[in-house]
Protein backbone atom coordinates (compact mmCIF):
# COMPACT_ATOMS: atom_id res chain seq x y z
CA UNK A 1 0.00 0.00 0.00
CA UNK A 2 1.37 3.40 -0.92
CA UNK A 3 0.60 6.23 1.42
CA UNK A 4 0.98 9.73 0.15
CA UNK A 5 1.43 12.98 1.98
CA UNK A 6 -1.05 15.68 1.08
CA UNK A 7 1.83 17.58 -0.49
CA UNK A 8 2.24 14.77 -3.01
CA UNK A 9 -1.42 14.73 -4.01
CA UNK A 10 -2.36 15.62 -7.55
CA UNK A 11 -3.54 19.17 -6.89
CA UNK A 12 -0.34 21.16 -7.22
CA UNK A 13 -1.84 24.63 -7.38
CA UNK A 14 -3.90 24.31 -4.17
CA UNK A 15 -1.32 22.87 -1.83
CA UNK A 16 1.78 24.15 -0.13
CA UNK A 17 5.00 22.25 0.33
CA UNK A 18 4.85 21.15 3.97
CA UNK A 19 7.88 20.72 6.18
CA UNK A 20 6.19 17.82 7.95
CA UNK A 21 6.45 14.07 8.11
CA UNK A 22 4.65 12.03 5.43
CA UNK A 23 1.04 11.12 6.18
CA UNK A 24 0.47 14.19 8.31
CA UNK A 25 -2.28 16.25 6.73
CA UNK A 26 -1.26 19.80 5.87
CA UNK A 27 -4.67 21.25 6.69
CA UNK A 28 -7.11 19.82 9.22
CA UNK A 29 -10.60 21.23 9.68
CA UNK A 30 -12.34 20.49 12.96
CA UNK A 31 -16.08 20.66 13.59
CA UNK A 32 -16.12 20.94 17.36
CA UNK A 33 -19.47 19.35 18.12
CA UNK A 34 -21.18 17.81 21.13
CA UNK A 35 -20.61 20.35 23.90
CA UNK A 36 -24.30 20.46 24.76
CA UNK A 37 -24.72 16.70 24.87
CA UNK A 38 -21.54 16.33 26.93
CA UNK A 39 -23.06 18.64 29.53
CA UNK A 40 -26.60 17.27 29.38
CA UNK A 41 -25.35 13.71 29.87
CA UNK A 42 -23.82 14.94 33.14
CA UNK A 43 -26.93 16.85 34.16
CA UNK A 44 -25.02 20.10 33.69
CA UNK A 45 -26.20 23.19 31.81
CA UNK A 46 -25.22 23.23 28.13
CA UNK A 47 -22.98 26.24 28.63
CA UNK A 48 -20.79 24.16 30.94
CA UNK A 49 -20.06 21.98 27.90
CA UNK A 50 -18.98 25.06 25.97
CA UNK A 51 -16.67 26.09 28.81
CA UNK A 52 -15.06 22.66 28.84
CA UNK A 53 -14.92 22.86 25.05
CA UNK A 54 -12.46 25.75 25.28
CA UNK A 55 -10.04 23.50 27.16
CA UNK A 56 -10.42 20.88 24.42
CA UNK A 57 -9.66 23.58 21.88
CA UNK A 58 -6.42 24.42 23.70
CA UNK A 59 -5.45 20.73 23.67
CA UNK A 60 -6.29 20.55 19.98
CA UNK A 61 -4.13 23.54 19.02
CA UNK A 62 -1.22 22.28 21.11
CA UNK A 63 -1.48 18.80 19.59
CA UNK A 64 -1.70 20.20 16.06
CA UNK A 65 1.52 22.13 16.64
CA UNK A 66 3.27 19.10 18.09
CA UNK A 67 2.17 16.87 15.21
CA UNK A 68 3.31 19.38 12.59
CA UNK A 69 -0.02 20.30 11.06
CA UNK A 70 0.38 23.57 9.15
CA UNK A 71 -3.24 24.77 9.00
CA UNK A 72 -5.94 24.07 11.58
CA UNK A 73 -9.43 25.42 10.91
CA UNK A 74 -11.79 25.32 13.85
CA UNK A 75 -15.54 25.76 13.43
CA UNK A 76 -16.41 27.93 16.43
CA UNK A 77 -19.74 29.50 15.58
CA UNK A 78 -21.86 29.00 12.49
CA UNK A 79 -24.07 31.51 10.71
CA UNK A 80 -26.96 29.33 11.86
CA UNK A 81 -25.94 29.21 15.54
CA UNK A 82 -27.71 32.55 16.11
CA UNK A 83 -30.90 30.51 16.28
CA UNK A 84 -29.88 29.14 19.70
CA UNK A 85 -31.33 30.53 22.93
CA UNK A 86 -29.97 34.05 23.61
CA UNK A 87 -28.25 33.00 26.83
CA UNK A 88 -26.28 30.31 25.03
CA UNK A 89 -25.29 32.69 22.22
CA UNK A 90 -24.11 35.23 24.81
CA UNK A 91 -22.00 32.59 26.52
CA UNK A 92 -20.44 31.48 23.23
CA UNK A 93 -19.52 35.11 22.49
CA UNK A 94 -18.08 35.51 25.98
CA UNK A 95 -15.99 32.37 25.59
CA UNK A 96 -14.56 33.53 22.26
CA UNK A 97 -13.52 36.80 23.89
CA UNK A 98 -12.05 34.94 26.84
CA UNK A 99 -10.09 32.63 24.55
CA UNK A 100 -8.65 35.51 22.53
CA UNK A 101 -7.81 37.62 25.57
CA UNK A 102 -6.34 34.77 27.56
CA UNK A 103 -4.57 32.76 24.86
CA UNK A 104 -3.44 35.25 22.24
CA UNK A 105 -0.07 36.09 23.80
CA UNK A 106 0.74 32.41 24.22
CA UNK A 107 -0.34 31.61 20.66
CA UNK A 108 1.79 34.48 19.40
CA UNK A 109 4.87 33.33 21.27
CA UNK A 110 4.31 29.85 19.84
CA UNK A 111 4.49 31.48 16.35
CA UNK A 112 0.84 30.70 15.62
CA UNK A 113 -0.73 32.87 12.93
CA UNK A 114 -4.41 33.54 13.58
CA UNK A 115 -6.77 34.06 10.66
CA UNK A 116 -10.48 34.61 11.02
CA UNK A 117 -13.10 33.62 8.46
CA UNK A 118 -16.79 34.44 8.69
CA UNK A 119 -18.98 37.50 8.61
CA UNK A 120 -17.59 40.19 10.90
CA UNK A 121 -20.30 42.75 10.24
CA UNK A 122 -23.05 42.27 12.77
CA UNK A 123 -20.68 41.13 15.50
CA UNK A 124 -20.31 43.28 18.61
CA UNK A 125 -17.57 45.94 18.23
CA UNK A 126 -15.45 44.46 21.04
CA UNK A 127 -15.46 41.04 19.37
CA UNK A 128 -14.58 42.54 16.00
CA UNK A 129 -11.72 44.45 17.58
CA UNK A 130 -10.37 41.31 19.25
CA UNK A 131 -10.54 39.35 16.01
CA UNK A 132 -8.82 42.17 14.09
CA UNK A 133 -6.14 42.50 16.77
CA UNK A 134 -5.48 38.75 16.83
CA UNK A 135 -4.87 38.76 13.09
CA UNK A 136 -2.75 41.90 13.16
CA UNK A 137 -0.57 40.72 16.04
CA UNK A 138 0.15 37.31 14.53
CA UNK A 139 0.17 38.00 10.79
CA UNK A 140 3.95 37.69 10.52
CA UNK A 141 4.15 34.33 12.31
CA UNK A 142 5.40 31.31 10.42
CA UNK A 143 4.15 28.44 12.59
CA UNK A 144 0.72 26.85 12.62
CA UNK A 145 -2.01 28.90 10.96
CA UNK A 146 -5.09 28.75 13.18
CA UNK A 147 -8.11 29.59 11.07
CA UNK A 148 -11.01 30.55 13.32
CA UNK A 149 -14.35 30.12 11.55
CA UNK A 150 -16.59 32.41 13.52
CA UNK A 151 -20.03 33.53 12.38
CA UNK A 152 -19.08 31.44 9.37
CA UNK A 153 -21.31 29.81 6.79
CA UNK A 154 -19.91 28.31 3.62
CA UNK A 155 -22.97 29.06 1.49
CA UNK A 156 -22.84 32.69 2.57
CA UNK A 157 -19.11 32.77 1.78
CA UNK A 158 -19.71 31.36 -1.72
CA UNK A 159 -22.64 33.73 -2.33
CA UNK A 160 -20.47 36.72 -1.37
CA UNK A 161 -17.69 35.57 -3.70
CA UNK A 162 -20.14 35.11 -6.58
CA UNK A 163 -21.59 38.55 -5.90
CA UNK A 164 -18.13 40.16 -6.09
CA UNK A 165 -17.41 38.34 -9.35
CA UNK A 166 -20.78 39.42 -10.78
CA UNK A 167 -19.97 43.03 -9.85
CA UNK A 168 -16.64 42.78 -11.70
CA UNK A 169 -18.37 41.31 -14.75
CA UNK A 170 -21.04 44.06 -14.67
CA UNK A 171 -18.33 46.71 -14.46
CA UNK A 172 -16.48 45.20 -17.41
CA UNK A 173 -13.44 44.22 -15.32
CA UNK A 174 -14.02 40.53 -16.00
CA UNK A 175 -15.50 38.46 -18.79
CA UNK A 176 -17.93 35.65 -17.92
CA UNK A 177 -15.62 33.15 -19.60
CA UNK A 178 -12.78 34.17 -17.25
CA UNK A 179 -14.65 32.79 -14.27
CA UNK A 180 -13.16 29.44 -13.32
CA UNK A 181 -12.60 27.21 -10.31
CA UNK A 182 -9.35 28.86 -9.31
CA UNK A 183 -10.89 32.33 -9.48
CA UNK A 184 -13.74 31.32 -7.21
CA UNK A 185 -11.26 29.72 -4.78
CA UNK A 186 -9.26 32.92 -4.69
CA UNK A 187 -12.37 34.98 -3.94
CA UNK A 188 -13.31 32.91 -0.94
CA UNK A 189 -12.16 33.90 2.52
CA UNK A 190 -9.81 30.93 2.50
CA UNK A 191 -7.85 32.30 -0.47
CA UNK A 192 -4.22 31.29 -0.12
CA UNK A 193 -5.01 28.47 2.30
CA UNK A 194 -4.76 24.95 0.89
CA UNK A 195 -7.96 22.93 0.88
CA UNK A 196 -8.44 20.81 3.99
CA UNK A 197 -6.96 17.35 3.63
CA UNK A 198 -8.87 16.05 6.62
CA UNK A 199 -12.08 17.18 8.29
CA UNK A 200 -12.75 15.79 11.75
CA UNK A 201 -16.14 16.05 13.43
CA UNK A 202 -16.78 14.96 16.97
CA UNK A 203 -20.09 13.91 18.56
CA UNK A 204 -20.99 11.22 16.01
CA UNK A 205 -22.92 13.54 13.69
CA UNK A 206 -21.97 12.93 10.07
CA UNK A 207 -22.60 16.18 8.26
CA UNK A 208 -20.80 19.39 7.32
CA UNK A 209 -23.35 21.85 8.73
CA UNK A 210 -22.29 24.57 6.24
CA UNK A 211 -18.54 24.18 6.89
CA UNK A 212 -16.06 24.62 3.99
CA UNK A 213 -18.41 23.17 1.37
CA UNK A 214 -16.35 24.29 -1.62
CA UNK A 215 -12.99 23.60 -0.02
CA UNK A 216 -13.95 20.09 1.12
CA UNK A 217 -14.41 18.76 -2.43
CA UNK A 218 -11.64 16.18 -1.91
CA UNK A 219 -11.23 16.19 1.86
CA UNK A 220 -11.19 13.00 3.85
CA UNK A 221 -13.77 12.86 6.63
CA UNK A 222 -13.31 11.26 10.02
CA UNK A 223 -16.23 11.21 12.45
CA UNK A 224 -15.20 10.58 16.03
CA UNK A 225 -17.66 9.04 18.51
CA UNK A 226 -16.68 11.38 21.33
CA UNK A 227 -18.06 14.72 22.46
CA UNK A 228 -15.87 17.75 21.86
CA UNK A 229 -14.99 18.41 25.54
CA UNK A 230 -13.35 14.95 25.62
CA UNK A 231 -11.15 15.69 22.60
CA UNK A 232 -7.40 15.32 23.14
CA UNK A 233 -4.18 14.57 21.31
CA UNK A 234 -4.94 10.84 21.20
CA UNK A 235 -8.23 11.60 19.44
CA UNK A 236 -6.47 13.79 16.89
CA UNK A 237 -3.82 11.13 16.32
CA UNK A 238 -6.50 8.48 15.81
CA UNK A 239 -8.15 10.66 13.16
CA UNK A 240 -4.79 11.21 11.45
CA UNK A 241 -4.08 7.50 11.60
CA UNK A 242 -7.38 6.83 9.86
CA UNK A 243 -6.57 9.54 7.30
CA UNK A 244 -3.18 8.00 6.61
CA UNK A 245 -4.86 4.71 5.71
CA UNK A 246 -7.13 6.34 3.13
CA UNK A 247 -6.26 6.23 -0.55
CA UNK A 248 -6.79 9.71 -1.95
CA UNK A 249 -7.36 9.48 -5.67
CA UNK A 250 -8.64 12.93 -6.67
CA UNK A 251 -10.59 11.29 -9.48
CA UNK A 252 -7.55 9.38 -10.73
CA UNK A 253 -6.63 5.75 -10.42
CA UNK A 254 -5.85 3.95 -7.21
CA UNK A 255 -2.33 3.98 -5.88
CA UNK A 256 -3.06 0.88 -3.89
CA UNK A 257 -3.45 -2.70 -5.19
CA UNK A 258 -7.03 -3.93 -5.38
CA UNK A 259 -8.57 -6.39 -2.88
C1 LIG B 1 -20.67 22.57 19.52
O2 LIG B 1 -21.43 21.90 20.46
C3 LIG B 1 -20.49 24.02 19.85
C4 LIG B 1 -21.13 24.94 18.90
C5 LIG B 1 -21.92 24.62 17.93
C6 LIG B 1 -20.85 26.34 19.10
P7 LIG B 1 -23.01 21.94 20.44
O8 LIG B 1 -23.47 23.08 21.26
O9 LIG B 1 -23.52 21.93 19.07
O10 LIG B 1 -23.37 20.59 21.18
P11 LIG B 1 -24.54 19.61 20.80
O12 LIG B 1 -24.34 19.21 19.39
O13 LIG B 1 -25.83 20.34 21.01
O14 LIG B 1 -24.38 18.47 21.75
C1 LIG C 1 -21.80 22.93 13.73
O2 LIG C 1 -22.42 22.33 14.81
C3 LIG C 1 -21.31 24.30 14.09
C4 LIG C 1 -20.14 24.36 14.99
C5 LIG C 1 -19.50 23.32 15.46
C6 LIG C 1 -19.70 25.67 15.32
P7 LIG C 1 -23.99 22.43 15.05
O8 LIG C 1 -24.25 21.71 16.30
O9 LIG C 1 -24.43 23.86 14.98
O10 LIG C 1 -24.56 21.67 13.78
P11 LIG C 1 -25.96 20.93 13.60
O12 LIG C 1 -27.05 21.91 13.95
O13 LIG C 1 -25.97 19.74 14.49
O14 LIG C 1 -25.96 20.53 12.14
MG1 LIG D 1 -24.08 20.47 17.80
What are the extents of the domains in the chain?
3-11+24-153+195-241
User: Are 29 and 203 within 8 A, CB to CB?
Assistant: no
User: Are 179 and 162 within 8 A, CB to CB?
Assistant: no
Count of alpha carbons within 13 Å of 34, Cβ hemisphere only? 24
Closest ligand 2 atom, residue 205 Cα: 13
Closest ligand 1 atom, residue 76 Cα: 6
- Residues in contact with ligand 1 by the CB-under-6-Å rule are 32-37, 77, 81, 92, 203, 228
Q: Is 151 a catalytic residue?
A: no
Count, residues in the chain:
259
Residue 22 has pLDDT above 90, yes or no: no
The CATH number of 3-11+24-153+195-241, from 3.30.830.10, 2.60.120.1140, 3.40.640.10, 3.40.1180.10, is 3.40.1180.10
- Looking at every residue in the chain, the average pLDDT score rounds to 92
What percent of the chain has pLDDT above 70? 90
Query: For residue range 29-51, what is the model confidence (pLDDT) as tens digits?
Result: 999 999 999 999 999 999 999 99
State pTM to two decimals: 0.91
Angle at 125 between CA 111 and CA 127, to 5 degrees: 35
Residue of 5 and 178 predicted with greater confidence: 178
User: Which of 168, 172, 197 lies closest to 183, judged by CA?
Assistant: 168
Read off the pLDDT band of 3 (50, 70, 90): very low
Amino acid sequence: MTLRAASEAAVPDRTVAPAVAPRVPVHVGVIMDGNGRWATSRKLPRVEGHRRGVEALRRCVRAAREIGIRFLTIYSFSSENWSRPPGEVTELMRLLKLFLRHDLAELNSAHVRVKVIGERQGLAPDIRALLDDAEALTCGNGGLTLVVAFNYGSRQEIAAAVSRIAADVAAGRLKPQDVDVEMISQRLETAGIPDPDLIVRTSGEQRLSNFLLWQAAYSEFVFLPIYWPDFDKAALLSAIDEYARRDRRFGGVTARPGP
